[in-house]
Amino acid sequence: MTNHKDIATPIRTKEILKKYGFSVKKSLGQNFIIDTNILSNIVEAAGLNKETNVVEVGPGIGALTEHLARASKEVIAFEIDDRLLPVLADTLSPYDNVSIIHQDVLQANLKEVLTEKVDLAEPLMVVANLPYYITTPIVMYFLESVVRIDALVIMMQKEVAERITAAPGSKAYGSLTIAVQYHMDAEIAFIVPKTVFMPQPNVDSAIIKLTRRTTPSVEVMDEKVFFELTRAAFVQRRKTLWNNLLGKYGKEEAMKEKLIQALDYAGIDPKRRGETLSLTEFGKLADGICLKVLN
């Protein structure tokens, strides 16, 4: 096993692609990592050990997968591109703790698939180099899943990572920030230059680590109202919170009166913009809306 040649080198990657006559599909966001140091750093950031089970999305030709297999208990990798199945069967043949699931993870019954392969009481992480075009839906899918994911260590466009880890008042802060930070502690582990991929993407990437909080970052009366409010607050970023609230809840005089009461309850100036509110302030306003607007 130790003399097994790493997949993630420029020469081996080219050899594998040539052997299978594989051409990269831009539509699937296929960029293969050709730097083993980056992969070691990802595994290190995840803090994997032989008690941890890992879900991977988009294993490609198996470059990250083999590093995960060496460091963790079981790896369940979802691959949508059937052209890669024979490649993965070959490149990952030395590892008996990897299962390749030929399915779109967003369409999968995650609980069913994982129950067959692992004990869901054991630590479970998502570690993946995500296809750029579908990063946000995949992150939200795992955060909201009935299967408890303890942490996600994922590669994504640097700009998206900055949005997820943003602080209130910054340009990057928005409803995605809040949706993730409600459930998880978020930090950027390190930046990945575009030069370590084949083919090279147009932008740099970042490895982000999301760690499940024991309780949500803010306690609210109704989660659904909270998330609807935070989305509404950013519909038109340049508009005041007041204008976005009218757009969401209605402009009738009676509704305006109720919204003023909700803002008063939360102690929030209607002239502020959504991006200036902290998660705690959004939580208070969501409660105000529950009490004054929706009851």
Q: Which residues are annotated as a binding site?
A: 31, 33, 58, 79, 104, 129
* Parallel/antiparallel/unpaired status of strands 151-157 and 53-57: unpaired
Q: What token pair was written down for 52? A: 């941890």
Let me know: does 274 contact 244? Beta carbons within 8 Å: yes
Q: What token pair was written down for 263? A: 């803002």
| Amino acid of residue 176 | L
**Three-class secondary structure of residue 113 per DSSP:** helix
Q: Which residues are annotated as a binding site for S-adenosyl-L-methionine?
A: 31, 33, 58, 79, 104, 129
Q: Which helix (H) or strand (E) holds 30?
A: none
Length of the chain measured in residues: 295
Let me know: does 160 contact 212? Beta carbons within 8 Å: no
Let me know: does 85 contact 62? Beta carbons within 8 Å: no
Q: At what angle do helices 253-266 and 279-288 cross, to 10 degrees?
A: 130
Q: Which helix (H) or strand (E) holds 45?
A: helix 36-46
